[in-house]
Structure 1
Amino acid sequence: MDLKGVTGILQKMIDHEGHDTILKKVKIVEANDKGTCIAELTVEKEHTNIFNTLHGGYIATLVDIITSLAILAHPRVGKGVSVNLNVSYLKPAKLGDELVIEGTTSKAGRTLAYLDCKIYIKSTKEIVATASHCKFIRED
């Protein structure tokens, strides 16, 4: 699936008006058939915790969604559900920070996909969080 297809899926998720509406400011900038999805986000007040840094739950949501879009971009993989999501929080992201979220497919097997994610500050390349995501998948 290409960039247009992945962007369309994200828009459908946002338009559903459920939890995924919190992703309305996320911009997909790259998606390819290697199972990669790259997005960008500027941290705004609505994304922060009481300390005015990016909320850990929002980071986990970014990991979940961007890696899920990465596996959807993979040529032979269909829908899936999360089996495990592990996030390491390394540095706070502050209001106004421009972030890059990179989701990559490490392995897409018959029933399981292993994905990695890295979130970093665009200008300095300082890593905010790293994550691994395992999904049960099925071919469509």
Structure 2
Amino acid sequence: MSPVVSDIDASKVEGNASPEIKNTLLRALQAMQRLSHVSRSTGRPFRGLEAEITSQLQLTEASILSKTEEPEKFEGRVVFQVIVNEDMLNSAQNMHGGCLAMIIDNCSTMPIYILGASTNGHGEFGVSQSLNIIYHSPALTGDKLRVVSTTLTIGSRALSSRCEVWNVTRHRLVASAVHVKMVPSEPKASEPAKL
């Protein structure tokens, strides 16, 4: 596994998003990479799948672009790269669909954040409502994947993005997805329990 990135350098990330927004994305990735707890079954520190896999994602682009179909509207675009390794494989020695779903879930959230932060000063990561994935072709050990995510819509409560995972090594589409998220409601004050 790749080591956790200790220093954040937004200058290595392409795209026209501000350095502050790029830093926020890199800090969010870093926070996911550091997730760990003590395993109840073994009593030893355990990072977990998300931390292990996220530590291998490399943010390469963060941009705000005019929509092709509606140039007066904007979309967020975020691109990550990752190399498939043996920890990501299923029993058939292909990249496990669940591992790929987790990568899509995390990566497709990022353009939603950068578009909100760039256009109205408030980025939102939201919580997932649905993640619809179509798996097109397998990815093998050593394959370099390019995960391209763009926003579809950002409303006051509903947020959506699309994602394509391209196999750079084999020049084919691995998966495509639509991710719908929502802004969670503020917790309501709880009423005292009745006896």
- State the match for 2:17 in structure 1: none
Please, which of 14, 24, 27 is the counterpart of residue 58 of structure 2?
27
Question: Runs of 4 or more off by more than 4 Å in structure 1?
Answer: none
Structure with the higher strand share, 1 or 2? 1
- State the match for 2:45 in structure 1: none
- State the match for 2:31 in structure 1: 12
Structure 1 segment 2-81 matched on structure 2, within 5 A? 2-17=21-36, 18-21=48-51, 22-33=53-64, 34-74=75-115, 75=117, 76=120, 77-81=123-127
How many residue pairs end up in the alignment? 138
Aligned to 2:156, what secondary structure does the other structure show? coil
Q: How many Å apart are 1:52 and its aligned residue?
A: 1.3
Between 1 and 2, higher relative CO (CA 8 Å, sep ≥ 6) is seen in: 1
Aligned to 1:35, what secondary structure does the other structure show? strand
Residues of 2 paired with 1:27 and 1:124: CA distance? Answer: 19
Structure 1 segment 66-105 matched on structure 2, within 5 A? 66-74=107-115, 75=117, 76=120, 77-105=123-151
Please, which of 159, 174, 186 is the counterpart of residue 128 of structure 1?
174
- State the match for 2:9 in structure 1: none
- Between Structure 1 and Structure 2, whose CA radius of gyration is higher? 2
Aligned to 2:108, what secondary structure does the other structure show? helix
Structure 1: where are the runs of 5+ without partners?
none
One-letter amino acid of the structure 2 residue matched with residue 66 of structure 1? C
Q: How many Å apart are 1:19 and its aligned residue?
A: 4.3
- State the match for 1:107 in structure 2: 153
Residues of 1 paired with 2:60 and 2:35: CA distance? Answer: 22
Contact residue 76 and residue 114 of structure 2 kept, 8 A: yes
Give the share of equivalent positions with the same residue, in percent: 26
Structure 2: where are the runs of 5+ without partners?
1-19, 37-47, 65-74, 185-195
Contact residue 110 and residue 125 of structure 2 kept, 8 A: no
Residues of 2 paired with 1:127 and 1:3: CA distance? Answer: 26
